[in-house]
Amino acid sequence: MYRIFLLVVIVGSLFVSCDKSEPLAGYGSLELVFKARYGTQPLVYATEYNYFDIGTILFSKTDFFYSNLKLLNSKDSILVTDVNYVSLMEHHTSIALAEEGLKIRYDSIPTGDFTALDFNIGLTPEQNKTKPSNYVSTHPLGEGTRYWAGWISYIFSKTEGVFKNGTDNPFTYHSGFDNAMIPLHFAKTIKIENGKKTSIQVLIDYKNMFNEGSVPMDIPSNPQIHNTSLLMLSFVKRFNTSVTIQ
């Protein structure tokens, strides 16, 4: 009888040991922390920054849609969200808040080890064919001020502020139309664990957005971007080098 009891204990111990060695399946959370920067400095609403030694610049709006946020590895592609909208200057009203970042959390993400994060700045052509009336008002695509009927397009990004060089030069740079969508791909080891939160910082350098290479953007000569143009496309393409993750 003792031998039978001992055998049961040993077999039971083996099963417990096997359970502990196997990875736990389940769901975790992914938190994106968006931080607007101006070079190495936190970007704060209506605060003046040196503009390439020819004046100063301040920002009143740095908004954009992001779409098709995915976690990737060699086997899986997990769609975290199809679309969302961020208004960084509405959040970054102090240095402390800009350093903290705008946090957006997604729950119920399947656990796993991922090697990349993808998302678009702007909307997919399929999303851009819709209109705010197709959604409830609380949906990111349901807000009417994010759509321009004259374009028959959503406004993918809004970058607004004032350049000062002895004279105030307001600027409003808006992007839209299907060819203004910018796909971004980031190689990064990302682990989603059961019941835990994984945070990723998304940094957007707005100084780089205004750097055309050898010279800064001539804001007084180009105070507005409201239609598809080479200027609009060159501006939004700089999201490729202005957005980094940590």
Report how far residue 210's alpha carbon sits from residue 6's, in angstroms, rounded to the nearest whole number.
Answer: 74
Residue keyed to tokens 């959604």? 135
116-138 average pLDDT score = 98
Q: Which letter does DSSP use for residue 59 in this model? A: E
pLDDT of 44 above 90: yes
Reported as a single tens digit per residue, the pLDDT across 52-89 is: 999 999 999 999 999 999 999 999 999 999 999 999 99
pLDDT at 16: 36
Report how far residue 94's alpha carbon sits from residue 99's, in angstroms, rounded to the nearest whole number.
Answer: 9
With a pLDDT cut of 90, the percent of the chain lying above it is: 87
90-105 average pLDDT score = 98
**Alpha-carbon dihedral sign for residues 221, 225, 227, 230:** positive
pLDDT of 217 above 80: yes
Mean pLDDT of the chain: 91
CB 28 within 8 A of CB 14: no
pLDDT at 120: 98
User: In the structure, what pLDDT confidence band is assigned to residue 150 with cuts at 50, 70 and 90?
Assistant: very high
Write the CB contacts of 120 (distance below 8 Å, at least 6 apart in sequence).
Answer: 66, 67, 68, 181, 182, 183, 184
Which helix (H) or strand (E) covers residue 140, if one does? none
pLDDT of 25 above 80: no
Residue 94 CA from chain centroid, whole number: 20
User: In the structure, what pLDDT confidence band is assigned to residue 13 with cuts at 50, 70 and 90?
Assistant: very low
CB 130 within 8 A of CB 62: no
How many other CB atoms sit within 10 Å of the CB of residue 48?
A: 14
Reported as a single tens digit per residue, the pLDDT across 104-120 is: 999 999 999 999 999 99
The ranges assigned to domains in the chain are 24-245
pLDDT at 23: 47
Helices and strands (DSSP H and E) totals, the chain: 7, 14
